[in-house]
């Protein structure tokens, strides 16, 4: 078994309560979510999600350095393309 380490993080008590409640509903613990975040960060060699400002008009996709954009109406585009890309098992 590998050595264990402890991580201490300060955060707003209300935020902590909200996130613990969220992960409880998801069937896991906040601490486990932190471990998942750490493992995924190592796997991807980056943050496991795209960081952007709220006022970004278009959202860059993952690690593509903004080369590709997701349209603001991505759900409508996905629905419109379903006849061309059937889901597996259908």
Is 58 in contact with 72 (CB distance < 8 Å)? Answer: yes
Per-residue pLDDT tens for 13-46?
Answer: 999 999 999 999 999 999 999 999 999 999 989 8
**pLDDT recorded at residue 54:** 66
Higher pLDDT, 12 or 60: 12
End-to-end CA distance of the chain: 44
Per-residue pLDDT tens for 65-90?
Answer: 656 565 666 666 666 666 666 555 54
């Amino acid at each position: 078994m590998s050595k264990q380490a402890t991580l201490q993080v300060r955060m707003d008590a209300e935020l902590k309560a909200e996130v613990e409640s969220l992960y409880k509903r998801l069937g896991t613990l906040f601490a486990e979510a932190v471990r998942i975040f750490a493992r995924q960060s190592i796997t991807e060699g980056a943050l496991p999600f795209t960081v952007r400002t709220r006022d970004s008009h278009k959202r860059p996709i993952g690690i593509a350095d903004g080369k590709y954009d997701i349209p603001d109406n991505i759900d409508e585009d996905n629905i419109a393309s379903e006849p061309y890309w059937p889901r597996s098992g259908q």
